[in-house]
Amino acid sequence: MMHISPELAAHLEGEVTTLCHCWRLTRRDGTVMGFTDHDREIVADGTIFRPESGLTASEARRSLGLAVDAMDVEGALSSLDIEEADILSGLYDGARVETLLVNWRAPAQFARLRQAVIGQIARRDGRFVAELESPAQALDQANGRVLRRSCDAELGDARCGIDLDAGGFRGSGVLQEVKGNSIRVAGLDGFEAGWFANGLVTWTSGAAAGRRERVAAHRKGLEGVVLDLWRDTAAAAVPGDTLSVVAGCDKRFATCKAKFANAANFRGFPHLPGDDAAYRYVTDGQVFDGGPLVE
């Protein structure tokens, strides 16, 4: 329930108000940033809210029940506040955003309108649009296990049981070149092509140290070893930076058995009948006795 101080309530009942919106953004790495749609800097609730970003908010609705509320916040990409490289590297994914209603003439008078998390960020023409999702979004997520053919464990976790530090599942290299979402790496020549597809790259030096990137494809050619990353660029990485990369898993039973020799720990149902089984009809020569489809 929103709390409004008596002073702010009195201001809201007046004929003229001096109100603005402020957004406090807390990234997953702990960095706190403040933005406002006012034309001057405001200090409220222990945070400095700056207007340089030019943020504007769409209409926000708060509904009763369990419906998921959402709104958008739009602003210009600023090298001082929000950098495109940070968005690409995922620093804003899942960041917490608090929306405050502030009396800019008396910043001590404010009300916290809502708390939300950033669900999706779209970039176009030098601007960004961040979708803010209410906490009710967590109720819309699947919980527990889902019956499906593919494995639902994460490679290397307790349910998977694979030791990624053994068996040649981890490699290290040095960045040589960046081309869009592709990076050329030295030091991975001993691994066959595709070994690191669906794996994770972790930068171990340079400005991108500690950041992780998902590998879409791993190929070898005349130019050397190339890793295609899911994101548009290797954020803040430059030639000479070092990285480590772990083998990838496509969650299929065949891969689990052949690549990792870990069929006993496969956490999927590879023989689960598909939709075609439900539409099959009786034909001469087939056996329909209720027995197992796969021995």
Q: Where are the alpha helices (DSSP H) in 34-79?
A: none
Maximum average pLDDT range among 119-128, 131-140, 179-188:
179-188
What's the pLDDT score for residue 60? 45
pLDDT category of residue 195 using cuts at 50, 70 and 90: very high
What's the pLDDT score for residue 94? 81
Reported as a single tens digit per residue, the pLDDT across 127-176 is 677 777 776 666 666 677 778 889 999 899 999 999 988 878 999 999 99
Tokens of 152: 């639902």
What's the pLDDT score for residue 173? 93
Residue 64 main-chain phi, psi, to 5 deg: -80, 160
Over the chain, what is the mean pLDDT?
A: 81
Reported as a single tens digit per residue, the pLDDT across 19-67 is 998 989 898 888 898 888 888 999 999 999 988 654 555 544 444 444 4
* CATH, domain 170-246, list 2.40.128, 3.30.70, 2.40.10, 1.10.3470: 2.40.10
What's the pLDDT score for residue 86? 73
What's the pLDDT score for residue 58? 54
Reported as a single tens digit per residue, the pLDDT across 215-238 is 999 999 888 999 999 865 555 788
pTM across the whole model: 0.59
* 8 Å CB contact between 128 and 75: yes
Tokens of 9: 């309530």
At 60, the amino acid letter reads A
Cα–Cα separations (whole angstroms), residue 93 to 39, 96, 236, 239, 294: 27, 9, 17, 26, 42
Query: Which of 175, 224, 220, 222 has the alpha carbon at shortest distance from 201?
Result: 175
Asked whether the CA dihedral 272, 276, 280, 283 is positive or negative, the reply is negative
What's the pLDDT score for residue 232? 55
Reported as a single tens digit per residue, the pLDDT across 277-295 is 666 666 777 766 666 555 4
* Residue ranges of the chain assigned to CATH 2.40.10: 170-246
* Residue ranges of the chain assigned to CATH 2.30.110: 6-140
* CATH, domain 6-140, list 2.30.110, 1.10.3470, 1.20.120, 3.30.530: 2.30.110
Tell me what percent of the residues of the chain surpass a pLDDT of 70. 76
CA 230 to chain centroid: 12
Q: Return the H-helix or E-strand segment holding 280.
A: none
